[in-house]
Structure 1
Amino acid sequence: MRRPLLISLLVAGFFVAPAFGQDESQLPSRLDQALQDMLSERESPGALDERIEAARKLGATEQAILEARFLYHVDRREDDKLAAMLPELEAQAKNFKLSESQIFAVEEDWFAILEYVRAIKALEEKDRDGFKKHITEAFWLSPQQGAAFAPHIERLRLEEAMKKVKVDFSLSVQDLNGETALLQSLAKDRKAVLLHFFSPWSRECEESLPDFTASAKALEQAGIAVVTIIGESMPEAIADTRAILEATPGLTGSWLIDHDTSPLSRTLRIQAAPTMVLVELDGTIRFNGHPSDPSLWSEVKGIAPGFKRPEVDGNGH
């Protein structure tokens, strides 16, 4: 449900495909097309390198290439790679030319992404004050990119909040049939518990079911209990969830209804579905966030080193 929007904020409308039947003189030049291909490449590092080399041979500037690499890592949510780019971005700042920029209309926008990367680097180094300083400056330089900066602030606040939270495994919960069980009984003889917050009315939850099905099976085999929490306790939500379970072969784990008076979703500050929370058996939170965040799977491997996340194609295989 949550996806970084920086690329769309930066490059929306920059490249417009020529309309069918357009005069050949209006078509992009070879360099223009190579720049477009480079800036839109997301498949793999190797594919990006090929696009960069093709654009460089046709005269693409190193500044344009740096911008393409920045966008590639932003859209793939590779914060570690962005942080590693900081020395190159700082060096380019001394020689920045707006006329050579492929994605920015004003100079402040380019310097905003420099502050943005400095903020990410500060996060990586656990420097809260440095993060706050640089992300604030990024907002000041380019307010229109605020939707891209905000998730990092939210993540930091959530991580700080989760350090003060412990899941109470003595909490009693109900399954979809109204049967009551204790969370600790679901965690028995396991290494950890992965709480999967799900809504039958979320399109992303529905679309991600093939991936969840395969991942949940691998997690269970690795000794991590998978518990799906339904945030809505209305009869319609329960009925719709049952229908999803019946229509989706291979779903595993326990499917429970969130507690009415002491909801886990409130304790864990769940604001969207799907969200996954990795919990150690003492109640400590190892991860709280979106399933696509690489940090989740790094934390899983920290608990179950042999775990390998399955690859799922568009058909759920």
Structure 2
Amino acid sequence: MKPIRPFLLAALLSASLQAQEAAPAPQELMQRLFDPKANEEQLMEAVKKAGMAGIPRQQLIEAKLVWGLRNQDSAWLTKILPELEVLAANFDRSQSAGLKSADEIRSFIAYTKALQAQDKNDEAGFKSQILEAIWLNPGQAQIFTQIIEKKRMEAKMANLKVDLALVITTHDGEATTLGDQLSDKKALLVDFWASWCGPCMQLMPELKKKAAELSKHGIVVAGMNKDDKDAQAVTAKIHDEQSIEFPWLIEPAERPFTKLLEIESIPRMVLIAPNGQVLFNGHPQDPALWVALQKVNPDIKAP
């Protein structure tokens, strides 16, 4: 199973060449503009310094666009929508940091409008704008259709309930249930992983951080192993190697959760309410996870 990439990450590949293609501009400033780890404050500081250094305004707007796409921040994309429209109307390929055409900009404008329509539960508007995005930028069709797949998944999950009484086992062979693990807490966040899944193992440190932080807000984090062979031994081994201090579970061989939740790839995280309702089902690095967590407890802050 291939891991799900964070949404729209591939859309940023064309902008990854900004440093090389923007030779006239100081390379360090360009790297700060397109730093994937930058928060909003750091981005705006980089934009300010780059503008003072004479980097073209077009590249500054492109940096804002890439940041909004990378962070899946619909509010941010809506905020810069007027700038994107100006950019599309005056696009100069020679001044670009990585984007290739005005239609590529317009496709992201349409995508932003699709997000706006989605927030308003405007089904017709969403379909119209997302299809416009695909039409304008067919090379990124797979990226734009991800939001369609995500929307459909959310609709399915809204009508599902996880069986919290189903008997499963822990890493040390004890019988338990998700209900037992949830107890009287506000929600349960289950991370589905396997030892053969490279990205799963790479994200173990982040999983441990989530477990420690979210426990302060009444949310239980649990790992759910999906290894097909020697699951008990593998789960126990990883538990000890990673010094896990939170629930470490094994999915039954019949894969009841995998089937119910349509888990076709891992890593995958599922946020479950005390009544079994699915509040989130997606990649651990999808920003929508933190939106769902903040609905459970507004005090939770995204990293």
What TM-score range do you get, normalising by the shorter chain? 0.7 to 0.9
Q: Secondary structure of the residue that 2:152 maps to in structure 1?
A: helix
What amino acid does structure 1 have at the position aligned with 2:84? L
> Helix, strand or coil for the counterpart of 2:185?
coil
Equivalence for 2:15: 11
Tell me the equivalent position of 2:204.
Answer: 209
**Deviation larger for 170-179 or 268-277:** 170-179
Instruction: Report if aligned partners of 1:64, 1:102 keep a CA contact under 8 Å in 2.
Output: yes
Aligned residue in 1 for 2:246: 253
Asked whether 1:116 is paired with 2:116, we answer: no
Deviation sequence 1:49-102 (CA, Å, 0-9, x none): 333233333444433321111012222332331232223323443444445433
Between 55-64 and 70-79, the greater mean CA deviation after superposition = 55-64
Aligned residue identity for 1:11: A
228, 233, 236: which one pairs with 1:239?
A: 233
Q: Which residue identity does 2:275 align to in structure 1? A: D
**TM-score normalized by the length of structure 2:** 0.85
Q: Which amino acid aligns with 1:71?
A: V
Q: 1:115 touches 1:134 (CA, 8 Å); kept in 2?
A: yes
Tell whether the 8 Å contact from 2:235 to 2:250 is kept in structure 1 after alignment.
no
Query: Match of 1:241, as an amino acid?
Result: T
Confirm whether residue 171 of structure 1 aligns to residue 166 of structure 2.
yes
* Greater relative CO, 1 or 2 (CA 8 Å, sep 6+): 2
Residues 222, 5 of structure 1: alpha-carbon distance in 2 compared, 3 angstrom cutoff: same
Aligned-partner SS, 1:288: strand
Q: Which amino acid aligns with 1:69?
A: K
CA contact (8 A) 1:34 1:51 kept: no
In structure 2, how many angstroms separate the alpha carbons of the residues matched to 1:137 and 1:303? Answer: 34
Which protein is bigger by CA-based radius of gyration? Answer: 1
Q: Deviations over 1:244-290 (max 9, x none)?
A: 111112x2332222233351011112233222111111111111122
Give the secondary-structure state (helix, strand or coil) at the position aligned to 2:20: coil
- How far off is 1:193 after superposition? 1.6
For residue 241 of structure 2, what is the amino acid of its counterpart?
A
Change (3 A) 1:191 1:102: closer
Give the Cα separation in 1 of the matches to 2:180 and 2:69. Answer: 41
Offset, 1:15? 4.0
Equivalent position to 2:261, from 257, 264, 268: 268
Match of 1:22 in 2: none
For structure 2, list consecutive stretches of 5 or more residues without a partner in the other structure.
Answer: none
Indicate how the Cα distance of structure 1 residues 234 and 85 shifts in structure 2: closer, same or farther if over 3 A, else same: same
2:30 is matched with which residue: 14, 36, 45? 36
Alignment match, 1:195: 190
Structure 1: segments with no counterpart, 5+ residues: 18-26, 312-317
Shift, 1:126, TM fit: 2.6
1:213-254 Cα shifts (integer Å, max 9, x gaps): 13213333433233321123421x4433322111112x2332
Query: Does 2:83 match 1:88?
Result: yes
1:13-28 equivalent positions in 2, closer than 5 A: 13=17, 15-16=19-20, 28=23
Judging changes above 3 Å, is the alpha-carbon distance between structure 1 residues 254 and 233 closer, same or farther for their aligned structure 2 residues? farther
Tell me the SS of whatever aligns to 2:190: strand
Equivalent position of 1:103 in the other structure: 98
- 1:303 to 2:278 alignment: no
Q: Determine what percentage of the aligned residue pairs are the same residue.
A: 30
What is the RMSD of the two structures over their aligned residues, measured on CA atoms? 2.8
Deviations 1:163-217 (A, max 9, x none): 1111111212223344433332222222222222111222222222222113213
- Normalised to the residue count of structure 1, the TM-score between the two structures is 0.81
Tell me, yes or no, if the aligned pair for 1:34 and 1:54 is still in contact at 8 Å: no
